[in-house]
Amino acid sequence: MARHETQHPPKVAVITGASSGLGAELARELSRHGWSVGLIARREDRLMTLADEIRQAGGRTAIAVADVSDKAMLLAAFDSIRGELGAVDLLIANAGVGKPDFLDPFTVDDIEQMIRVNLLGVLYSIAAVLPQMIEQRRGHIAAVSSAGAYKGMPGSAGYCASKSAVSTLLEGLRIQLREYGVSVTTICPGFVRTDMTDVNSFRMPWLQEPDAAARKIVRALNRRKKVYNFPWQMALMIKLLRWLPDWFIARTLPRKSDVVRNNE
């Protein structure tokens, strides 16, 4: 049904990390399918540019600036968007950060930041929409985890740990929320071209463009998939890696974890 023929108010989706990359493409894709989209991110200028683009195409949107690791700020952002667009039907907790691990010195601060953004940011986002979804006995919660959630990789142990925690959190909630009519989807992509991956110096197999990845994710959400692993080649490779002995991985993969941090 075309947007102008819709007889009911458009459903409302809220996306965190919406200012660029996968989050921005998810907003564009959902808007094309008639959704009202709430956009949350730290960079207000990019949010405003994206919102103008969506409105010019005939879509309905609202923006709110927030750091997902700041619970009070994030909850206020969701309240602001609800005030403009209405109750949230779909949450896509997309905001995330990735940094390599170093051993000398051990990068505890970077790992802490990844846990705050990648895990707590998802937790706070869910907390912002869950009471309303339970009360209405409908809704859909999705979060972007990673193919890296399935295997702790050398040089990315902190990132993998944060994403593994996200997947485990959603798995438990998915089972618990069945009786309330709330769906939960865990999204586990491989490499997607974004600002975060653009800094990677290593080869990224099966690198996906964000617009193509967004289309695949929206199709998976429409099917209410429990877990969506893609591309299939990456999903298969990760499954195989889980069975390989540590000594083989240590010999064959780049030893990023042994790199000394440049203190300049």
CA Rg, the chain, in Å? 19
Q: Which two tokens stand for residue 235?
A: 């999903």
Which DSSP letter does residue 134 get?
H
| Cα distance between residue 133 and residue 183, in whole Å | 10
| Residues whose CB falls within 8 Å of the CB of residue 251, separated by 6 or more in sequence, listed in order | none
| Cα distance between residue 53 and residue 165, in whole Å | 35
Q: Which two tokens stand for residue 85?
A: 């667009």
Catalytic (active site) residue 159: yes
Q: Which candidate in 124, 150, 159, 228 is catalytic?
A: 159
Strand partners of residue 69: none
Active centre residues (catalytic)? 159
